[in-house]
C-alpha cells in the first residue's frame, strides 16, 4: 500500500463527493443501525408556482431543518410557521421528535425562538459581524 496524499479539489464531482458521504453513512449505519438520512420537503405554492418551502432530513430520531424560505411578498402571513408545523407534525408521526436547525443573527432567530426552539450553541464571526445559532426543539 502506498502513502496517500491530500489533494485539494475546489470543484469536486458529485461522484467523488458521494464516495466520502457513502463511507460516512456506512460507518454510521454500522454503529447505530440507522439508515441513511432521508430528505423530506414541504412546498408553498401559489397557482403551481413555488413561493416558499422547507427542506429537512430525517435520521435516527432527529429531523434537521436544512432550509426554510418564503418569498418576500408572502412573508408575515404565517406561512413560515405553517411550514414548520407541517414538518414537526410529520416528524412526530414518523418517530423523529428531536428537531434542530441553524440560523444566523440576520436571519430568523426570533422566529424559531417564537416557535419554542432553544439555542444550544452559537458560533460568533460566521460572517463579519454575525453569529450562527444552533437551536433544537423536542416534540
pLDDT for 24-81, tens place per residue?
Answer: 889 988 989 888 889 999 999 999 999 999 999 999 999 999 999 999 999 999 999 9
**Separation in Å, CA 100 to CA 77, 83, 137:** 23, 15, 6
Report pLDDT digits (tens) over 4-15.
999 999 999 999
State the Cα–Cα distance between residues 104 and 24, nearest whole angstrom. Answer: 27
Domains of the chain: 37-138 (3.40.630.30)
pTM of the shown model: 0.87
Beta bridge partner(s), residue 100:
64, 136
| Cβ within 8 Å of residue 85, ≥6 positions away | none
| Cβ within 8 Å of residue 133, ≥6 positions away | 102, 103, 104, 105, 109, 119, 121, 122
Give one word for 67, left, alpha or beta, with left for phi > 0 and alpha for psi -120 to 50.
beta
Amino acid at each position: 500500500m502506498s502513502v496517500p496524499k491530500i489533494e485539494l479539489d475546489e470543484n469536486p464531482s458529485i461522484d467523488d463527493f458521494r464516495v466520502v458521504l457513502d463511507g460516512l453513512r456506512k460507518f454510521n449505519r454500522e454503529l447505530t443501525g440507522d439508515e441513511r438520512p432521508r430528505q423530506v420537503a414541504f412546498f408553498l405554492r401559489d397557482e403551481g408556482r413555488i413561493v416558499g418551502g422547507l427542506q429537512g432530513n430525517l435520521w435516527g430520531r432527529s429531523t434537521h431543518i436544512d432550509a426554510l424560505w418564503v418569498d418576500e411578498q408572502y412573508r408575515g402571513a404565517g406561512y413560515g410557521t405553517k411550514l414548520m408545523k407541517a414538518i414537526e407534525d410529520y416528524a412526530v408521526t414518523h418517530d423523529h421528535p428531536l428537531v434542530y436547525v441553524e440560523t444566523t443573527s440576520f436571519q430568523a432567530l426570533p422566529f424559531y425562538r417564537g416557535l419554542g426552539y432553544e439555542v444550544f450553541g452559537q458560533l460568533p464571526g460566521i460572517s463579519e459581524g454575525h453569529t450562527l445559532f444552533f437551536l433544537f426543539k423536542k416534540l
